[in-house]
Structure 1
Amino acid sequence: MAASRPGAKDLTQGPIASTLLMFAVPTLASNILQSLNGSINAIWVGRFLGAQALAATANANIIMFLMFSIVFGFGMASTVLIGQAMGRRDIDAARRAFGSAVGFCLVLAVIVATAGWIGAPALLRLLATPAEAFDMALTYLRVIFIAMPATLLSVMMMMGLRGVGDARTPLIFMIVSVVIDLVLNPVLILGLGPAPAMGIAGSATATAAAGIISLIGLVAYTYAKDLPLRLRGAELNYLLPAADQMRVLLSKGLPMGMQMIVMSASGLVMIGFVNREGLLVTAAYGASQQLWTYLQMPAMAMGAAVSAMAAQNIGAGRWDRISRITAYGIGYQLLITGAMVTVMLVFHEALLALFLGDNVSAIAAAWHMQLRVSWSFLAFGCTMILFGVMRANGVVVKPLLILAFTLFVVRIGFYHVGFPLIGVDALWFSYPVSSFTAMLLAVLVYAQGGWRKAKLLVPVHEEECRETVNSDAEPAGRLNPTG
């Protein structure tokens, strides 16, 4: 059986509650590590190189996030394909899906990296990057673009491993990447020891080196441990994206990536509204956003875990477990997010002071918006769990439409209608209004049940047809591929 292989975990058997929790926790830890890494790197850059360098990295990171959003979509699509294949105990199909995803990602990453390196000045001008930060941002961005293929391949491989039920290996190499990045950042920025002082390029080089080293380690570990998705011999041909696999990756991956872009675009619009309220409110909002980033993590991690687990069970035909997977996912998410919201509200002064120092007025403004916004992440999390389950069966357009409607029509519409009546509070109350509307719509789509009838529409592979025919004549049935 595929799930008995080293590194694979069968998510279709045993107790749902403990299995889901043990699968989700490493993913949550990876997300937290990644965010902490970004925060600490920002501190290194800000402390050592000043506000101009920090502004430069902020502008470059906007572009990088858009690139990762697209790859995230393809990665989630491949996770679903791999998960369903593992649920069917078809490891060869899982490898085909993984190979097509990695091969396509590599080609896409090389094209984007090349175009990005050439077009970086135009991209920064499009973002209206401040003149004093332009040169630094250009240097930083070009180094990051050079390392992009390795970075995106790492992301794709980690998401593929989660599809076979392995959340431990991605966590290990996320730790490796973060440790290398944190150590190299000050060394290369300042030129400590034999290293040259590279300034802003040093920060980018540290991040690039961490990604490349982590990828090399991940590939080596995959083959050394003979993990399920390793490709050998004729299987290496799977790296040439197959037409049937590409249809699924594009039709499902693009809408998933668009979900991330829609959320980012909505955030940019909201920042524009916040900026109208003056520097004090903008500073308070910036500090609050730092905390809200962490409040989103349980929803994203649990959503990814639920999606992978549901995909395996759908592939195995275990529809009897899907409702319980959904229920446990929502329950865990409410528990973890609720605990985090409570901690952040109880210790709000100390947490906000990390970003706002002793600015009492800004802390008070941030506390005001925290009270109105923080609890809305409970509803956001429930929505992400329901989306994750539906995504496990290839349903991606309806979640995208719900997000677009609630984040733009509902949230921005509430702001415009409410502002003349309640002033700036219309901004903060627009968050719970849109979040609970999205949750209600997600519940309606989930309860209606049409998503259960969807198919990924991957044509049966020619080799599978031959094996199926042979299995009719062989007492032993279909043979499982060996390692």
Structure 2
Amino acid sequence: MSLRQSPENRFLTASPGRIFAATAFPIVAIMVMNGMLGIIDAVFLGHFVGAQAMAAVGMAFPVLMLSIALSTLVSGGMSSLLARQLGADDRNAANATFAGAHGLALLIASMLIVVFCAGGWSFALRIAGSNGPVAEMVWVFLAITVFGTPIQFLLGVHADAWRNEGQAGLMALLSLVVTLINILMNYVLVVVLELGVAGSAAGTVLAQALGLMLLAGLRRFIGGMMPLSSLRQNRWTGSWRPILALGAPVSLGFIGMALSAASVVLALRLAGSADYARTIAAYGIVTRIFGFAFLPIMAIAMAMQSIVGNNVGARLYARSDAVLRLAAASALLYCLAVEVLLFSAGTVVGAAFVADPDVIGEVGRMLRPMAAIYLLSGPVLVLGLYFQAIGQPARAALLTMVKPFVLLPVLVAATAAMLGADAIWFAYPLADGVAAIIATLVLAAAIKARGNAGIGLRSVENLS
């Protein structure tokens, strides 16, 4: 890789505070708009289709998280490589990485489709129990979503490429247009045509296809972008190993979220409660709320990742350290605000989704313990993506995987076994607390290792 700095790269020249704000705000806007789509879609389903539709979406949530995880495996791994290659002005390597990500995305999406064809209906029946109509809704929703994953995965590749090429502002504008069109399509499909969960899933896939066409089609008209011709000039089977290695930490974190969600559904299912459908409907709403709240944290971490990666690629370590501090502080303040809102007004938030007072009460009962120490989750994620950005997948994996992949499933099972299904929501603050302790220990070990190596605080990328 070339070690010269890119002469036209704003990530390397603007002040850390200014470039962080200029990068983070558009990405936050994109994430919030995408999150609002999920919230509005849930409102459509809850008010115009009913609690069974919300229960079906809640049951489908683990598979949705799996598809996001696999998409992030490719786009996140590509992003870590791409940012450092662009920062070092190594355009040939960046083009090769971009092309390889396309091939890997299509391969993994095809494998997911094959797995769903083999076991999708069995999964729907098992997770819905004896409720045949809900099982059918789960299967229809997932069938449309899974068969749309090639579009979803390629959209993730192009969106992350735009972000690392410094086009976050324009991407935010395009995202606004696509999101508004998606909301309109979901309204028509769900409310007007009464297609229920099928309309919800189809509207999302159609909007993703439109977004992909815009991001790919406009690339040739914007200066400084990697050309689409690079997809013809480079192998689609290249760079897979480093993409997978660097994308694995965040991807496995999302898979852990799917595992955590599945463990909650399983704990409630095994409890055999007569209120199972109502509780699952409430849990479906809660997953939407926390999913929406998570998106700005992810946006902050992604903005930090792009800037840090470019600066580490150019060996401007003081700038990368400054951006890490800004991102961690921003995530902490945001998560504190979310915690206060959900802890104090959880029932009010639940009432926006459904009219059923029992489901609304369940939402409030779940949110209070789950949000108890939510403020700690943001800085942990930021630190995890920092280690990914500088090429340390082991530390990144530990910080992004430990809570959703290990702590939450274990604590959910333990609390359900010892205290009953009603206590599983207290597993979330316990997991947040333990994850924060682990993050502190990892950061302290990294600082100590740098000091022992005698290379100073700013050369973290040389240590693994």
When the two structures are superposed, what TM-score results if normalisation uses the length of structure 1? 0.79
**Bigger-Rg structure (1/2):** 1
**In the alignment, which residue of structure 1 is the partner of 2:161?**
160
Equivalent residue, structure 2, for 1:142: 143
Residue 103 of structure 2 is aligned to residue 109 of structure 1: no
CA contact (8 A) 1:161 1:229 kept: no
Instruction: State the match for 2:233 in structure 1.
Output: 237
1:228 equivalent in structure 2: 225
Kindly report which structure 2 residues correspond to 1:65-80, keeping only aligned pairs within 5 A, or say none.
65-80=65-80
User: How far off is 1:255 after superposition?
Assistant: 3.6
Q: CA deviation at 1:13?
A: 2.4
Specify the SS of the correspondent of 2:13. coil
Q: 1:414 to 1:49 in 2, by over 3 A?
A: closer
Kindly provide the CA deviation profile for residues 425-453 of structure 1, in whole angstroms up to 9, marking residues without a partner as x: 86444323321221222222223225955
Secondary structure of the structure 2 residue equivalent to 1:150: helix
- Could you say if the C-alpha distance between residues 406 and 58 of structure 1 is closer, same or farther in structure 2, counting changes exceeding 3 Å? closer
What is the deviation of 1:84?
0.3
How far is 1:47 from its partner? 4.2
In structure 2, the partner of 1:432 is 429
Q: Does 2:90 correspond to 1:90?
A: yes
Q: Does 1:211 align with 2:212?
A: no
Q: Who is 2:176 aligned against?
A: 175
For 1:349 and 1:55, the matched residues in 2 are separated by: 18
* 3-state DSSP of counterpart to 1:230: coil
Match of 2:36 in 1: 36
1:329 aligns with 2:294: no
Shift of residue 85, structure 1, vs aligned partner: 0.9
| Deviation string, structure 1 residues 271-294 (Cα, Å, up to 9, x no partner) | 444664954776665555443333
Q: What residue in structure 2 maps to residue 262 of structure 1?
A: 256
Which residue matches 1:291? Answer: 289
Structure 2 unmatched ranges of 5 or more: 451-458
Structure 1 residues 149 and 239, CA gap change in structure 2 (3 angstroms):
farther
Aligned to 1:17: 17
User: Cα distance, 1:260 vs. partner?
Assistant: 0.8
CA distance in 2, matches of 1:260, 1:60: 15
Counterpart residue type for residue 222 of structure 1: R
CA contact (8 A) 1:20 1:309 kept: yes
Q: Partners of 1:420 and 1:146 in 2: how far apart? A: 37
Q: Is the 8 A contact 2:61 2:258 kept in 1?
A: no
Distance 2:285 2:121 in 1: 30
Q: Label 1:56 to 1:336 Cα distance change in 2 as closer, same or farther (>3 A).
A: closer
Range with greater deviation from structure 2 (325-334 or 16-25): 16-25
Distance 2:144 2:337 in 1: 39
CA contact (8 A) 1:113 1:149 kept: no
Amino acid at match of 1:24: A
Contact 1:174 1:214 in 2 (8 A): yes
Aligned-pair CA distance for 1:101: 0.7
Alpha-carbon distance between aligned partners in 1 of 2:367 and 2:107, rounded to the nearest angstrom: 43
Distance 1:263 1:136 in 2: 22
Q: Tell me if the contact between 2:62 and 2:261 (Cα under 8 Å) persists in the aligned partners.
A: no
Tell me, in whole angstroms, the C-alpha distance in 1 between the residues paired with 2:410 and 2:65. 26
CA distance in 2, matches of 1:109, 1:413: 29
CA contact (8 A) 2:11 2:311 kept: yes
Q: CA deviation at 1:256?
A: 2.8
Q: Report the AA paired with residue 148 of structure 1.
A: T
Percent identical residues:
22
Within 1, Cα distance between the matches of 2:402 and 2:139?
35
Shift of 1:311: 0.8
Q: Which amino acid aligns with 1:300?
A: M
Indicate how the Cα distance of structure 1 residues 456 and 165 shifts in structure 2: closer, same or farther if over 3 A, else same.
farther
1:12 deviates by 2.3
Residue aligning to 2:383: 386
Secondary structure of 1:11's counterpart equals: helix
Q: Which of residues 393, 402, 411 in structure 2 aligns to 1:396?
A: 393
Tell me if 1:187 matches 2:206. Answer: no
Using a 3 Å threshold, how does the CA distance of structure 1 residues 290 and 139 change in structure 2: closer, same or farther?
closer
Are residues 2 and 49 of structure 1, via their aligned partners in 2, closer, same or farther at CA, if it must alter by over 3 Å? farther
Which of 306-315 and 275-284 deviates more?
Answer: 275-284
How far apart in 2 are the matches of 1:152 and 1:412? Answer: 27
Pair 415,456 (structure 1): closer, same or farther in 2 beyond 3 Å: closer
Residue 389 of structure 1 aligns with an amino acid whose one-letter code is Y
1:247 to 235, 241, 251: 241
8 Å contact kept, 1:144–1:204: yes
| Offset at residue 386 of structure 1 (A) | 0.8
**Partners of 1:61 and 1:42 in 2: CA distance:** 13
